[in-house]
Amino acid sequence: NHQIRLKSRPTGWVTPDNFEHVKADMPSPGPGQMLVKTLYLSVDPYMRGRMNDAKSYADPWKLGEACVGGIVVRVEESNGGKFPAGTYLTGMGAWANYQVTDGTGFNPVDPKLAPLSFYLGILGMPGMTAWVGLKGIADMKEGDNVYVSAASGAVGQVVGQIAKNMGCHVAGSAGDDAKVAYLKDELGFDAAFNYKTEKNLFAAVKAANPKGIDVYFENVGGPMLEAVINMMNFNGRIALCGMIADYNLTVDEMPAGPRNLVLLVGRSIKMQGFIVVNYPDLCREWIGVGAKWLQEGKLKYRESVVEGLENAPTAFIDMLKGKNFGKQIVKVADE
């Protein structure tokens, strides 16, 4: 049994040295517990916040202890636990090959309904985030002009497809030409562009959104938000899902915020942040809708899979740098 532990807290960019891959004892399930084996683990942008020693909606990871996040496991041994051996579960757990749990926070998942890794992506937290942001925060309606940043990522690719399935005009941006081609050619986005190679961000946002923007799904922050605010329509809604451009910057390095916030006043624009876990009803609703759409072929889904627990830190850092193409997953063991 091995674990990935937090060795030190980063200032600015994360490095592999912030983690350590250590041998750990093989745990044994006590009464009412199960021994579970990790098959997949998820690396997500919000984990950067958990590396800081700062109070937030997710507790900081503890120094010297295993990192914690979304995992898919198989019950290997049940000592009178909630689920029998052989059950597949998803929940929050340690970056470790094996751990024991009483099952709190774990739910069974069906490998026949979807590949197991999907429960960490399109049918898990990122997929739910797309649904919550569009339905619960932005009140998206048929015919809206929807724009999403980090559009090929775990959340973004689902946002765009939900909006298309609901009859919206959909535009997106991503940081790589292959990702942009995927949005247009595979996912059916009406427009997409590479924000890294466009010289004028304002012109690019305008060209991709010829009728303006009714709903902006914000994943990145930085200079993008200012360009988007310029193009927002009257009564527009901005769902602030994340601002990954800022996550690895120290306060001194952060750029000044949008200079055009005053436009929100005259155009009656609503801008609201949200945390997906605070919307359990919509999260449950998404599992039903998302699984049905997947089965009907109305959703496509792309993931990047890195193999081996020891490679989780690099997979995490690479994802923060945009090297992932689709949802970044770490495969820890064969099913």
Q: Could you tell me the smallest distance in angstroms from the CB atom of residue 334 to ligand NDP? A: 24
Which of 45, 70, 91, 313 is in the footprint of ligand NDP by CB under 6 A? 45
Contact 58, 3 (CB under 8 A): no
> For ligand NDP, which is the closer residue by CB, 98 or 195?
195
**Distance separating alpha carbons of residues 118 and 329, to the nearest angstrom:** 9
324 binds ligand NDP (CB under 6 A): yes
* Residues forming a β-bridge with 34: 78, 101
* Tokens, residue 47: 């984990």
Contact 280, 132 (CB under 8 A): no
Only one of the segments 162-170, 198-206, 219-227, 288-296 lies at the binding site for ligand NDP (rule: CB under 6 A); that segment is: 219-227
> For ligand NDP, which is the closer residue by CB, 78 or 219?
219
Name which of 153, 187, 196 is nearest 318 in CA terms. 153
154 binds ligand NDP (CB under 6 A): yes
101 binds ligand NDP (CB under 6 A): no
* Tokens, residue 192: 């997409």
- The maximal CA–CA distance of the chain, rounded, in angstroms, is 63
The count of residues interacting with ligand NDP (CB under 6 A) is: 30
**Distance separating alpha carbons of residues 292 and 314, to the nearest angstrom:** 34
228 binds ligand NDP (CB under 6 A): no
241 binds ligand NDP (CB under 6 A): yes
* 8-state DSSP, 325: S
Only one of the segments 10-18, 44-52, 161-169, 253-261 lies at the binding site for ligand NDP (rule: CB under 6 A); that segment is: 44-52
198 binds ligand NDP (CB under 6 A): no
Cα separation values, 71 from 89, 132, 310, Å? 8, 21, 15
**Residues contributing to the site for ligand NDP (CB under 6 A):** 44-46, 125-126, 129, 150, 152-156, 174-176, 179, 219-220, 222, 241-242, 244-245, 274-276, 319, 322, 324, 327
